Structure 1
């Protein structure tokens, strides 16, 4: 009996909550996936009811008492705030002011650990992925929107609220007008999949490999990398998200960043932009494993 107890696994519920879908899974400490589903992000009541139903069904086989929530934002992460764990003013219709943490905590009677989806993904990459053994690392996702998470000495950066790197203002390449309804020429307004669709009048997936959009995209992301390197002294900038799947895009970003920095930054011996700017070590699972990282990071 003692041997069985020693071998018994601890299971955890994890959610990567996005504006398009909620990825839900049961994992163990070794990051094995034991059950998984995707639920469309529709109305809060409908989506959260389906999420709770999935985890209630799984709990009969994989008992858990902790849930890690990597959530789209903006999110109130201040534990002293009356709206802690709420999605605040989001462009996602009907989700503003949703008390997502308490809804899941009450619905599943478990402890919930929350951070932004990109902070959680950044933490997972720090623990197990491309940003291991760094003191400052940044995870950027380029998809429907643009988000960024920052890890400093093993801890996600919160500060005033949490980083909103996607809304960093940068100069637009000549002839390009950014599409962010709030800021125009911010990174999200120039480089997100949504913005690319508006700028080029066709979806990013349908743009040919030699379309000028990709050269413009690389210039925009290089300006972002320039700012992240001089602003945060980042040892790793990890690019995730669907848009980054375009062949050779990362190499172009690195080349333009090299030009932009103009040899001003002297890198430590053995380090170069080719190992600073990279793709995720965890592939498509950075966000999902981010939920696990939030749980395991707490004492």
Structure 2
């Protein structure tokens, strides 16, 4: 089912910020705002105010797409469908995100994890077009991963939690995840890097050993994704990944780890598979739009 309405409301709900926008079916953004993620009541009140203001200005929409940090309850038969569940952001646990916005704005809501949504957007419009198995990873305040198989986001019991994949910590390092410690998120997220190295990751010089250690962790993750999913695209975005040359380091280390075990088709290598987002910093926001189309089909 194609998008037919004039405007859509979209929210990329992150652990640090909510980005809200009014967008049309051609992916043109007509209004946008960034809202700091504070308490649920304060944050959602500002989200609702943004959309109500633009409804009053003539940007009428019937559907809202939410690409949210998680974990989320995505069981459509559940009384808490669309709620944030056991997140490390304790004040957001059990927040009925989809229901509160749907009721306040009198619209239908499509919801999924921010990374499943980003993977879907990259599949539809970005670097994963034509890929039967596409994975999107974001590395920022946390580490999350979404999977799209044959154009459908993967759910299962809940949804992928790739950021909590266990890996071997680099020598002398200890992860910060309160649930699993030495998982990808506990070792590679922005807060983890700051804890490990004693300063924010964006202040580390290009030749700092922290980037090599980060590439080790991410290469282990990519190794596991390749042998588990036979991924055709592993797209890695997020604020931490903005460092020049980091993806190339990950590719080299992952190639070394796989040790030529995977026989790639001619003219294909990890350098074709592991890449930056084709949609730049808009994968998540456009992912919320992609969810509307996908869940209306």
TM-score of the two chains, using structure 2 as the length reference:
0.96
In 2: Cα distance, 1:32 partner to 1:231 partner: 37
Of 107, 130, 135 in structure 1, the residue corresponding to residue 132 of structure 2 is: 135
Of 55, 58, 70 in structure 2, the residue corresponding to residue 59 of structure 1 is: 55
Deviation at 1:9, TM superposition (A): 6.4
What's 1:15 paired with?
A: 11
Number of aligned positions between the proteins: 292
What does residue 107 of structure 1 align with? 104
Secondary structure of the 1:29 match is: coil
Corresponding position: 1:34 with 2:33: no
Deviates more, 1:21-30 or 1:84-93: 84-93
Q: What is the 5 A alignment of 1:25-104?
A: 25-60=21-56, 61-104=58-101
Per-residue deviation at 1:39? 1.1
Is 1:160 matched up with 2:157?
yes
Distance in 2 between residues matched to 1:256 and 1:20, nearest whole Å = 30
Query: Equivalent residue for 1:272?
Result: 269
Moved over 3 A (4+): none
- For residues 161-204 of structure 1, give each alpha carbon's deviation from its aligned partner in whole angstroms, at most 9, with x where no partner exists: 00000000011122222121111110001111110011111110
SS of alignment partner, residue 102 of structure 1: helix
Q: Contact 2:143–2:163 (CA<8 Å) still a contact in 1?
A: yes
User: For residues 98 and 85 of structure 2, what CA distance do their matches in structure 1 show?
Assistant: 12
C-alpha separation in 1, matches of 2:60 and 2:77: 30
Q: CA deviation at 1:93?
A: 3.3
Q: Any stretches of 5+ residues in structure 1 without a counterpart?
A: 1-7
Residue pair 2:5, 2:61 contacting (<8 A) in 1 also: no
Root-mean-square deviation (Å): 1.0
SS where residue 149 of structure 1 aligns? strand
Match of 1:147 among 144, 147, 153: 144
Q: Which moved more, 1:115-124 or 1:173-182?
A: 173-182
Offset at residue 90 of structure 1 (A): 1.2
Structure 2 stretches of 5 or more lacking a match? none
SS in 2 for 1:139: strand
Counterpart selection for 1:246 from 243, 258, 263: 243
TM (norm. structure 1) is 0.96
2 CA distance for matches of 1:122 and 1:207? 29
